[in-house]
Amino acid sequence: MAVRSGVLPVLAAAVLWGTVGPAQLLADTGADPVALGAGRMLLGGAVLCAVAVRARGLRSLRGREVPAWLLLSVLVTALFQAAFLQAVDRTGAALATAVAFGTVPAVSGLCARLLQREPLSARWCAGTVVAVAGTGFLLLPGSGGRADLVGVLLAAVAGASFGVYIVATKRLAAAGGDPATAAPVAVLCAGLLVSPWLVAHPAGLGEPRALVLLAWLALGTTAAGYLLFTAGLARISAATTSTLSLAEPLVAVVLGLVLLGERPSGWSGLGMALLLSGLLVVSLPVRRREQPLAGTA
């Protein structure tokens, strides 16, 4: 029963996060994607801080090494928002989400290896090779769909940012910081960091459709998504969490196909399939303990 009570909130959070790209395109506000990201982080971060942040958690962020990891979290959170929403705008919800989250395991694994000397498994290497191959197919001439070089690269930058964020959060926790407090603070501070973009590119943000989109991105996908995710995370294993997180790109792909008429073709379709396959390989629970690759600690 405890496992089930953890599965449902984490799965619900992944589904909410999978709607970000489709909602952005469906609203079709014409607003600048980076300005949308800034508004999302400011409003969502403020709500999260009001609901989830406590004085004890804030005190934990003053530790000796914690501020440096918190600063890194803020920077990559801002970069993720700016890069991902631009990628969606350029290359579609399904493709942008598949590239971004197909990139996450590769970058987080490399960062964990370099910073924490965690071993790289044969499963991780296989999944990473498949995901990289998928990205390569997306960049081939004549890949079809809306795939373009800049859009795909922005999605990869977003995924890399999230991969770094995962490792930074682990290091912050190891240094004595409270991740449940650090995440809302990082979101809000990232919003403040990008907030000048709201002043520089305000066009379209005051329109009713843009306000509804901002409300959904901030309250639905950021505040509610985070609260659901943290509520279930403590009740299930990391492997189960990774598997459930696969719902995010799958939801984006399905919504892109059904609601937005996105039809990847040719190399683009093959690339997306390989990306999702690579993500599946590294995310499914391991039945028995994997041996590290030769040469790893």
Q: Which two tokens stand for residue 260?
A: 């937005």
- DSSP label at residue 65: S
Q: For residue 183, which amino acid is it?
A: A
pTM of the full structure: 0.81
The per-residue pLDDT for range 248-262, each reduced to its tens digit, is 888 887 888 788 777
Query: CB-side exposure of 24: number of CA atoms within 13 Å?
Result: 31
Helix, strand, coil distribution of the chain in percent, nearest 5: 75, 0, 25
- Going 211 to 36 to 190 to 216, the CA torsion angle's sign is positive
50-70: pLDDT as tens digits: 998 989 999 999 888 899 999
HSE-up (13 A, CA, CB side) for residue 25: 28
pLDDT in tens, 7-51: 888 889 889 999 999 999 999 888 899 999 999 999 999 999 999
Per-residue model confidence as pLDDT tens digits over 278-295: 777 766 665 544 443 333
CA distances for 218 relative to 126, 166, 213, angstroms: 36, 21, 8
Is 146's pLDDT higher than 70?
Answer: no
Cα–Cα dist 124/111, whole Å: 13
- Most distant CA atoms of the chain, gap in Å: 57
Which tokens sit at 195?
């907030």
Q: Does the pLDDT value for residue 217 go beyond 70?
A: yes
